[in-house]
Amino acid sequence: QQQVKQSPQSLIVQKGGISIINCAYENTAFDYFPWYQQFPGKGPALLIAIRPDVSEKKEGRFTISFNKSAKQFSLHIMDSQPGDSATYFCAASGTSTGNQFYFGTGTSLTVIP
Amino acid sequence: GEEVAQTPKHLVRGEGQKAKLYCAPIKGHSYVFWYQQVLKNEFKFLISFQNENVFDETGMPKERFSAKCLPNSPCSLEIQATKLEDSAVYFCASSHRGGGSGNTIYFGEGSWLTVV
């Protein structure tokens, strides 16, 4: 079954707007939650990551919000730019879950100028 | 090297032919992962290695897929008797210490396999 559920599947945002992508997980043994950004024809690149001991992490325009009790985490892209148009994947992994990374199904983000 | 290097970038095979993909992990990384990405979406885990040892092979279709990571050689993923459904992008990723607790995996650019 899908270990990490991601929504929405696609997202269209106006330039300057806020893009929000949500993920949910079930396995409480996960202890690392990265987000990856993938452009067409390229491999996924790490964007930002969080561990469950903090509720928020911010790097520039990108913020992860983490809700441990709800087992949910989300990516917020502030002041979205056309260059942010890409597919975003959330992921989860845990030292006690076999070191495997489990990915969401991806969100295709389009930022309209 | 400083990045995960995958070859070839593109590969076309007729149904039933063999396909072999290669991956050189980032220098110093002990873990190598192979993922299959179909239709630009889901990442299907295939296999992982810790150095030259298979760590987790729960995702491997064993009847036609095999993989190796030998010392001083690129890792490889081989598909015998390819089928149309094997058409996908195959990503290799490497990690310093495996998943969890902040150990990030870094992806290569992928190998595009097209089976015709």
Name the residue among A41, A46, A99 with its Cβ closest to that of B31: A99
pLDDT digits (tens, 9 = 90+) for B26-48: 999 999 999 999 876 788 999 99
Q: Which two tokens stand for residue A64?
A: 């992860």
Of residues B56 and A72, more confidently modeled: A72
pLDDT at A63: 97
Residue B41: per-residue pLDDT:
75
Sign of CA dihedral B24, A92, A106, A112: negative
pLDDT at B96: 86
Which tens digits make up the pLDDT trace of A32-70? 999 999 999 899 999 999 998 999 999 999 999 999 999
Tokens matching residue A44: 């996924």
| pLDDT value, residue B40 | 65
Q: Residues B79-101: pLDDT tens digits?
A: 999 999 999 999 999 998 776 66
Distance CA B116, CA B101 (A): 42
Interface of B with A (CB under 8 A): 4, 31, 33, 35, 40-43, 45, 48, 55-56, 91, 93, 95, 98-110
Per the CB < 8 A criterion, the answer to whether B66 and B46 are in contact is no
